[in-house]
């Protein structure tokens, strides 16, 4: 049974943590690895380099949208796909993130987290609450 008194707060915490994770990873790609470095990495793993730009934009802008609760369900649903595709890079590395080049458990966990946010909705304190 779901506690309807605390569920909106639980959804808020999940929404905020997923949004913060996206902003952190997006800014790392932009500020640390640089857009050119991120493009190079995408190409080195077989993805078209130009895809680095929408990924960086989605991670920063989508992360902020999650934090503020704007179109939460839509952003989270897109995040499920983006995170699953990111996980495919790690499938050959095995389960553990400590494996060489990282394992697939973390991006799959994040994909499942995004799915939960998409199913739960905004939670409390959303700027633009989703309609159920």
Domain-by-domain residue ranges, the chain? 7-120
61-108 pLDDT, tens per residue? 999 999 999 999 999 999 999 999 999 988 888 787 777 778 889 999
Task: Give yes or no for residue 8 having a pLDDT over 80.
Answer: yes
Entry pTM: 0.91
Structure tokens at 34: 């640089």
Rounded CA-CA distance 117/56 in Å is 21
Contact 11, 4 (CB under 8 A): no
The rounded mean pLDDT for the chain is: 93
Whole-number pLDDT of residue 13: 97
Distance CA 15, CA 66 (A): 6
What is the residue-wise DSSP string for 15-81? Answer: HHHHHHHHHHHHHIIIIISHHHHHHHHHHHTTS-GGGHHHHHHIIIIIHHHHHHTBSHHHHHHHHHH
């Amino acid at each position: 049974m779901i506690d309807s008194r605390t569920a909106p707060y639980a959804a808020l915490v999940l929404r905020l943590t997923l949004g913060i994770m996206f902003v952190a990873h997006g800014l790392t790609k932009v500020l640390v690895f640089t857009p050119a470095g991120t493009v190079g990495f995408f190409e080195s793993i077989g993805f078209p380099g130009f895809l680095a730009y929408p990924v960086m934009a989605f991670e920063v802008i989508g992360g902020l949208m999650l934090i503020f609760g704007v179109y939460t369900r839509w952003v989270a649903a897109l995040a499920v796909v983006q995170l699953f595709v990111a996980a495919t890079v790690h499938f050959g590395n095995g389960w553990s993130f400590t494996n060489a080049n990282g394992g697939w458990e973390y991006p799959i966990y994040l994909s499942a987290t995004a799915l939960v946010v998409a199913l739960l909705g905004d939670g409390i304190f959303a700027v633009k609450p989703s309609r159920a």
